[in-house]
A and B are shown apart, each in its own frame.
Chain A
Amino acid sequence: MSFKDYDKHKFVVDTCNAFTQKRITKRDFLRKMALAGLGFSAFSSQMLGVGRPVGKMLGFGSGYAEAQTPPDVEKWLKEVGGKYKGTKIRYSTEATPPSIVANQLAKEEFTKLTGIEVEVEIVPLEQVLAKATQDVQGQLGTYDLYYLDQSWMATFAPDTVDPTQYYKDNAELAMPGFDWDDFSKPLVEGIAMYDGKMVGIPFDIPIFIMMYRQDLLDKHGIKVPETMDDYMNAVKAITEAEKGNGIYGTTVQAKSGHYSLECDWTAFLWGNGGSIFNKDKMFSGNDERGIAGLKYYQELVKNAPPAATTWTWDGEGQSVQQGQAALLLSWGEFFPGFDSDASKVKGLMQAAKPPKENPGRRAPSEAGFGEIPAIGHQGGSVIALSQYSKNKEAAWIFMQWACSKDVMARVSTLGGGASPMRLSSFSDPRVKEKAVVGPGTTRHFDVVNWTINNAMGSEPDMPIWAELSNNDIPIELGKLLTGEAYDGSAEACMNALAKTIDEKVAAAGLR
């Protein structure tokens, strides 16, 4: 053994002794181990003790919560971020895994290294919208950053700073190795761009994928659906065979008046070759393909647990966990929960590419307001820098850190299998290692990656979309699905919506 190896081994042994005798903290221990060039598996990290509170809260292992900030980033945070010590930045966000994890890591790492305080308000999505709207209408600068859903890009584009431009213009604040090319192009196009401007940095990407019960498909000799017809046939066959056992072919998020219902509707509208708007910027949910899409969805609702018309995404995910449904086309974010210890279907669910659209996908050029029709409905969001912020520099430093390769990869593991935003996260060994059955699994990531790059559908970019998608559309759909109006007629419902929406679009001066 060389002197160098001897020194290294002795250093490791001494550090371990110091840790076991509680002479150094866990953090110091990990730092020293990193210096010694040792990595830790999830298992060994667990052995070091219970993870961070967020890990427990989400029911996932602590794993890479203990990972270290890369040395160059740490240096940048100290040197560049340190100049803004004492500054407080604020933003409000929805309780998504990236938000929760970033919030937790911000307290434990970002603030310690920079001295910049981060105040995060975690509220329901509709309140995030209301708060951001108030802030921009009054140009208050109460929030330095905005968490913006993809459907709000047109609304908030003028109120945000283009991050790529800001990155170029403020080289002294630029994070080393930030790597803009690490975000996939369809992802950036689909969720972060409006009218040629990048509104914010992609922050999370819930996206519709197909998920199914392998055991039930095997039991009934059903192949994994590849087309929309396959999917419907499989759903119906399982409902017919298993309804007596309390298992339905599918499940939905069809709560009347809730945005979740609008998300479901768009996926099946696009999946049946339709679009929300046509190229003339007229509502086209009532054209032939639009009606076909809604009828398809009505049929799915009939093959879902009756209570599904009171469920948002929470109820939909729960129903699968409780073993009530065999197939679903919905948020990939559910998948890790299916593998959790509390789930009745742990290890039974599989992820697959969404079925191919029938008869084919409508081209974006045939749709209006930048809508991208494709079955993989995405509900991504960005984190954006406010034009009115009084602490732009500090907020920008936080924004880069929160969207950095290291933090994003950790968000996927610590956040219990939350879909990655960065291409590098998909191949990150820490992420790969979690691709096994178990809490916080990442074994559905290949399907997520494929869907992002090949079948990602995006809602229209228009200033009144938040109102249409959260109010008019889910309310009228809710009336139809619960029998409150339209007597089951998809045509009547879509025609009523067409009248309302076309009037609002015209009144807003968008056509």
Chain B
Amino acid sequence: MTQGTAVIATGRAGVTRMPRWLTSEHPFPWLAPLAAMLAVFGLYPLIYAFVLSFQQRNRIKRVDEFVGLKNWIQLVNDDRVWNALSVTLTYAFVAIVIELALGLLIALLLDQDRKGYGLMRALMTLPLVVPPAVTGMMFLLLEDGSFGWLSQNLYMTGLLSPEHPILATGSTALMGVLLADIWQWTPFMVLIMMAGLRSLPKEPYEAAAIDGANAFQTFRRLTLPMLSRVMAVAVLIRGVDLFRIFDYIYVMTSGGPGTATESLSAYAGRIFMTGNFPYAATLSLMTMIVVIIIANLFVRLFKVRF
């Protein structure tokens, strides 16, 4: 046998010589392709963004200049960053609470094997396949102050005045954007909750029934505790996603009125589109750092295990 090859027995042809690394039990050959992809598509852009955050574009000389911590200092002193962080946290918190509550409720209602429920479960997934930008456009039209169906109905009920369009009023604009998010992503929560419900053991429920527990007691004492880990994972996944919220805001409000709906990603996106890549990179890195901190706190607090 030559160096660097291995002999593998095959059914009819006797033996086939294979490169040794293809039969190795060492993890390196098997991890290498994925590691290479991560390095190219994950690590390199991250390092590039990090380097960029210490530079500034000189628009007269048309070169990138090293400016040390200038972008980071600017970020700390930038009122819009703190406003954007506050908007992002509010948005993420409200969205998660509503989507989780609605998702759990709908999952409980749909968790039955009666006729037609399968179809309803399938229909629930439809919003998930709509591109977020299209969803944003749909809700932009629904909430339009002059022509929007939703706005017109709210005017008729007296809950809203035509003088204060949903998306042009600071106190309602964020909720207007959240509607799109909730419509699109509640089904995601439904799917996860439903999968969790289906995986719960039946024995505790049988014991509870024998003990005479009512439906609410069963839900509070059994379902919720047993589902908590699934819920925590769902919140984590959705929370990370919500921190990057951009599409709906970009399409529906451009971050306005003023900066009332400007999230961190929306701010970074705006700066990026005007060509200030170093500051946009700094903002993006800050978003990433905040997500890592919050996600880790959450994992420790709720003892999430994967």
Contact = CB atoms under 8 A, between A and B. Distances in A.
A315 B146 CA distance: 10
B147 A479 contact: no
B256 A475 contact: yes
Interface string B233-253: 000000000000000000001
Interface stretch (A125-133, A174-182, A280-288, A342-350): A125-133
Contacts of A463: 59-60
A130 B272 CA distance: 7
A108 interface: no
Contact of A485 (B57, B167, B253, B258): B258
B273 A470 contact: yes
Contacts of A17: none
Contact of B144 (A310, A476, A483): A310
Contact of B257 (A137, A309, A466, A471): A309
Contact of A307 (B146, B170, B271): B146
Given A155-B59, A466-B274, A322 B146 contact: yes
A467 B64 CA distance: 17
B140 to A, nearest CB: 8
Contacts of B254: 255-258, 474
B169 interface: yes
A307 B168 contact: yes
B274 A256 contact: no
A374 to B, nearest CB: 26
B277 to A, nearest CB: 7
Contacts of A481: 257
Interface string B270-285: 1111111100000000
A129 B165 CA distance: 30
A257 B59 CA distance: 23
Given A306-B145, A508-B59, A509-B60, A478 B256 contact: yes
Interface in A440-493: 463-464, 466-467, 470-471, 474-476, 478-479, 481-485
A510 interface: yes
Contact of A310 (B60, B168, B260): B168
B145 A305 contact: yes
Interface string A111-138: 0000000000000001101100110010
A476 B258 CA distance: 6
Interface string B58-90: 111010100000000000000000000000000
B187 interface: no
Contacts of A464: 59
Contacts of B62: 158
B146 A484 contact: no
A104 interface: no
- The size class of the interface chain A forms with chain B is 35 or more
A290 to B, nearest CB: 20
Interface string B159-181: 00011110111100000000000
Contact of A471 (B64, B147, B163, B270): B270
A319 B148 CA distance: 12
Contact of B253 (A256, A318, A319, A471): A256
Nearest to A259: B254
B255 interface: yes
B259 interface: yes
A509 B146 CA distance: 45
A464 B258 CA distance: 21
Given A306-B145, A306-B168, A310-B168, A484 B260 contact: yes
A324 interface: yes
B274 A315 contact: no
A256 B167 CA distance: 10
Contacts of B58: 509
B146 A324 contact: yes
B168 A129 contact: no
Given A127-B273, A137-B277, A471-B271, A479 B258 contact: yes
Nearest to B255: A257
B159 to A, nearest CB: 16
Interface in A269-321: 305-307, 309-310, 315, 318-319
A129 B258 contact: no
Contacts of B151: 307
Contacts of A127: 273
B30 to A, nearest CB: 35
Given A305-B145, A509-B60, A482 B272 contact: no
Contacts of B144: 307, 310, 315
B259 A475 contact: yes
A471 B274 contact: yes
Interface in B254-306: 254-260, 262, 270-277
Interface in B7-63: 57-60, 62
A309 B276 CA distance: 27
A256 B168 contact: yes
A285 B215 CA distance: 67
A388 to B, nearest CB: 13
A310 B59 CA distance: 33
A307 B165 contact: yes
Nearest to B252: A310
Contacts of B270: 257, 470-471
Contacts of A484: 170, 256-260
B15 to A, nearest CB: 49
Given A307-B165, A467-B274, A470-B274, 16 more contacts: A127-B273, A133-B277, A255-B256, A256-B254, A256-B257, A256-B258, A257-B255, A258-B256, A307-B168, A309-B168, A319-B146, A463-B59, A479-B257, A479-B259, A485-B258, A510-B60
Interface of B: 57-60, 62, 64, 144-147, 151, 162-165, 167-170, 253-260, 262, 270-277
- 3 shortest interchain CB distances as A-B pairs: A307-B145, A256-B256, A482-B257
13 contacts: A256-B168, A256-B258, A257-B253, A257-B255, A306-B145, A306-B146, A306-B168, A318-B147, A322-B147, A463-B59, A466-B274, A470-B274, A484-B258
